[in-house]
Structure 1
Amino acid sequence: MTEPMTTPTKPPTLGEVMRGIRARNRWTLKEMSAKSGIPVSTLSKVEHDRLTLSYDKLQQLSQRLNIRMSDLFAEEGEPSAPRVTGRRSIGTIDNAVRVTTDNYDYHYLCTDLRQKRMIPIITRIRAHSATEFGELVRHQGEEFIYVIEGRMAVHTEYYDPVVLEAGQGIYLDSSMGHAYVVADGCEEALVLGVCSSADDGLMDSLMSLHGEGEGGL
């Protein structure tokens, strides 16, 4: 007998996650506003998916509600659920979680999967020099960056800068100081980055770096 086909589960929106948090705590919008410091009207628009929040506001929610930043991107699964090997997620810009910093626009893909060993990110680079970028960043793991559009310059602490064209990529040790900036002659560059680590805390580590406006993947 043929098994019935199942429809892929759509990842929760930020609004759905926010409603879930409020429902579990039995808070009214007014109570959640008082606890988070975010206006009722803003919370209402977020819950109805008519508005998103900046990184600063997400960080504020995380701190004041005493939850992890990554908990705002997908609902927690059952705590006793075993880790399975058949997981999958389809990532698009439309369902990505966006975080904007001075140097980059990050689009986190496949945020419905928890405890990923790889973090895929579409990034639009705006910084035009190492000076504009600021201090080199470092984090756990390794990463691969592939240029989709434009040209980018890669600065690292142990190598001379290298320019990558569209269709080229670079693999590097993320614990080595690094910075990605737009190469001469381009206004912006669009890249796909995949960050990997054996530690489960990679997502929170990346979010912490990005929130400080340092950039990097």
Structure 2
Amino acid sequence: MPSRPSTLGSVLRGLRSRNDWTLKEMSQRSGIPISTLSKVEHDRLTLTYDKLQQLSQRLNIRMSELFAEGEASATPAVTGRRSIGRLETALRVNTANYDYYYLCTELRQKRMIPNITRVRAKSLAEFGDLVRHSGEEFIYVAEGQVIVHTEYYDPVVLNAGESIYIDSGMGHAYLAGEGCDEAVTVAVMSSEEDDLMASLIHIHGERTQEIEKEVAA
């Protein structure tokens, strides 16, 4: 029988098993409540960026290890793998401008990163510097209106049912349209980078911390 796909919960269970820790011991080491760790291990809860960073720092592991598979096969195989994406099992990452819901996170080393995003920022002054990362991305507006700012083009307004495909290495920002409290998009990001998921999480976290420092100042 094919092995069950890895999830964040199975990664944490494996980490705990390798170190022979009880849930209580992992809770004491990580600073995350036992009840939270238990729900994550049973795939009933995901962790925000802050909590993932806390795990990484306190357990002295790289953030990417929370998303990476074990040793890769020397010869890539056709796996026929698949994943059903649901909001309740998505990895949620909250930032100053967006709420990201990363889907299908049990699939490792994938070259496409699907997510649902709630867009809140309404101006470039509020958003901050344009974002850049490797690869390309496709954005479909599911609800509301989105204003897309890019480094080399004039802003474009997208209404529900419209979409855009861009080079992610070009500076870009998505803003909620005029009179729209927030917009909802469905996005797919792709890259030749092996660790795109961890890279995106890292970008979100850095930007959130920068904005929080600016507000505190």
Question: What is the deviation of 1:128?
Answer: 1.3
Cα offset, 1:28, TM superposition: 2.5
Residue equivalent to 2:87: 93
For 2:16, the equivalent position in structure 1 comes to 22
One-letter code aligned to 1:83: P
**Residue number in structure 1 paired with 2:163:** 169
Tell me the CA shift for residue 181 of structure 1. 0.9
- Residues 88, 15 of structure 1: CA spacing in aligned structure 2 closer, same or farther, 3 A cutoff? closer
Q: CA deviation at 1:99?
A: 1.0
**Is 2:70 aligned against 1:83?**
no
Q: Relative to structure 2, which stretch is displaced further, 113-122 or 33-42?
A: 33-42
Residue 141 of structure 1 aligns with an amino acid whose one-letter code is G
The equivalent residue for 1:71 is 65
> How many pairs align?
207
Counterparts of 2:140 and 2:115, CA distance in 1: 11
Q: Decide which of 181, 187, 192 is 1:198's aligned counterpart.
A: 192
Distance 2:191 2:46 in 1: 28
2:123 is equivalent to residue 129 of structure 1: yes
| d(CA) in 2 for partners of 1:40, 1:89 | 28
Give the match for residue 148 of structure 1. Answer: 142
Structure 2: tracts of 5 or more residues without a match:
209-217
**Amino acid of the structure 1 residue aligned with 2:102:** Y
- The 2-side partners of 1:53 and 1:194 are apart by 21
For 1:9 and 1:193, the matched residues in 2 are separated by 28
TM superposition score normalised by structure 2: 0.83
Paired AA for residue 19 in structure 2: N
One-letter amino acid of the counterpart of residue 113, structure 1: L
Give 5+ residue unaligned stretches, structure 1: 1-5
Does 2:106 match 1:109?
A: no
Is 1:209 matched up with 2:203? Answer: yes
The TM-score, its normalising length taken from structure 1, stands at 0.83
Question: Residue 172 of structure 1 aligns to a residue in which SS?
Answer: strand
The answer for the alignment partner of 1:3 in structure 2 is none
Q: 1:51 to 1:117 in 2, by over 3 A?
A: closer
Identity rate, percent:
70
Larger mean CA deviation between 193-202 and 62-71 belongs to: 62-71
Cα distance in 2 between the residues matched to 1:77 and 1:56: 24
Looking at structure 1, the residues matched to 42 and 84 of structure 2 have their Cα atoms a distance apart, in angstroms, of 23
CA offset digits 1:127-183 (Å, max 9, x no partner): 111111111110001111110111001111211111100111111111111111101
Contact 2:138–2:164 (CA<8 Å) still a contact in 1? Answer: yes
Shift in alpha-carbon separation, 1:159–1:95, aligned structure 2, 3 A: same
**Structure having the larger proportion of residues in helix:** 2
Pick which of 170-179 and 33-42 moved more.
Answer: 33-42
Is the deviation greater in 140-149 or in 51-60?
A: 51-60
Q: Note the C-alpha offset of 1:30.
A: 3.9
Deviates more, 1:150-159 or 1:86-95: 86-95
Give the superposition deviation at 1:15: 3.7
